[in-house]
């Protein structure tokens, strides 16, 4: 399971414990990256032991799945600083797997929503350039936007998944939620580097 950030919203260790109690019961490895509502120190501590993983990389068949931190403390919008970009480059270059999926919180592409695009990823274009240049990154997945997204950017699929809670109204100039239900996405990574994914809306 991959959780692309904003695990909690009330800045408490208790909320992370609740998250771990719920997801630990699934019997799956749970890979997480931080979102703007997370508190890094609390999150790292809560996810220190298996089945939880914080911004780690995992090898799965011919794939490397890797998480990066796009958050800026105190800001809703994101940015990948030079050290995190360098860490991503080194992780990809140092892996023997020919296929890579990158997980991050903020969208590296505009969403076409005025307010949401003021809190996106500052240097999304730099991220897209680096992952395309790697020749290994097949897809990057993100959260933050509470709505679906799926498009090819220079040979890399960029995929956003709606929230497991409320959704934001698509294309809205101002903050607004709509009444679509919670959702998650099932992604199947194949040995030849191809993949399939399915968006699953939960019943209200």
Rounded to a whole number of angstroms, the minimum distance from the CB of residue 62 to Fe ion is 31
CA-to-CA distance for 89 and 201, rounded, in angstroms?
34
Question: Dihedral of the CA atoms 141, 128, 148, 195 (nearest 10)?
Answer: -50
Rounded to a whole number of angstroms, the minimum distance from the CB of residue 2 to Fe ion is 15
CA distance readout (Å), 65 to 17, 111, 154, 178: 25, 24, 20, 32
Residue 18's CB is within 10 A of a number of other CB atoms, namely: 14
For Fe ion, the closer CB: 36 or 147: 36
Rounded to a whole number of angstroms, the minimum distance from the CB of residue 101 to Fe ion is 20
Rounded to a whole number of angstroms, the minimum distance from the CB of residue 105 to Fe ion is 6
For Fe ion, the closer CB: 6 or 92: 6
For Fe ion, the closer CB: 174 or 192: 174
* Residue closest to Fe ion when measured from CB atoms: 144
Rounded to a whole number of angstroms, the minimum distance from the CB of residue 50 to Fe ion is 25
For Fe ion, the closer CB: 34 or 46: 34
The continuous run of DSSP H or E covering 45 comes out as helix 40-46
> Residues interacting with Fe ion, by CB under 5 A?
6, 35-36, 144
Bridge pairing between strands 149-153 and 156-160:
antiparallel
CA-to-CA distance for 51 and 30, rounded, in angstroms?
6
For Fe ion, the closer CB: 35 or 120: 35
CA-to-CA distance for 20 and 30, rounded, in angstroms?
9
For residue 173 the two structure tokens come to: 């100039």
């Amino acid at each position: 399971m991959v959780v692309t950030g904003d695990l909690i919203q009330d800045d408490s260790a208790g909320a992370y414990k609740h998250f771990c109690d719920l997801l630990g019961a699934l019997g799956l490895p749970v890979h997480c990256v931080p979102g703007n509502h997370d508190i890094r120190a609390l999150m790292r501590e809560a996810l220190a032991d298996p089945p939880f993983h914080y911004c780690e990389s995992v090898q799965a068949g011919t794939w490397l799945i890797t998480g990066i931190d796009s958050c800026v403390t105190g800001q809703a919008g994101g940015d990948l600083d030079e050290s995190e970009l360098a860490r991503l480059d080194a992780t990809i270059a140092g892996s023997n797997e020919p296929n890579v999926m990158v997980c991050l919180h903020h969208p590296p592409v505009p969403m076409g929503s005025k307010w949401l695009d003021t809190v996106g990823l500052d240097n999304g274009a730099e991220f897209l350039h680096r992952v395309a240049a790697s020749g290994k990154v097949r897809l990057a997945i993100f959260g933050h936007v509470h709505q679906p997204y799926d498009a090819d950017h220079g040979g890399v699929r960029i995929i956003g998944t709606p929230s497991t809670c409320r959704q934001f109204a698509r294309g809205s100039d101002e903050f607004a939620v709509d009444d679509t239900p919670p959702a998650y996405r099932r992604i199947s990574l194949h040995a030849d580097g191809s993949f399939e994914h399915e968006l699953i809306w939960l019943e209200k």
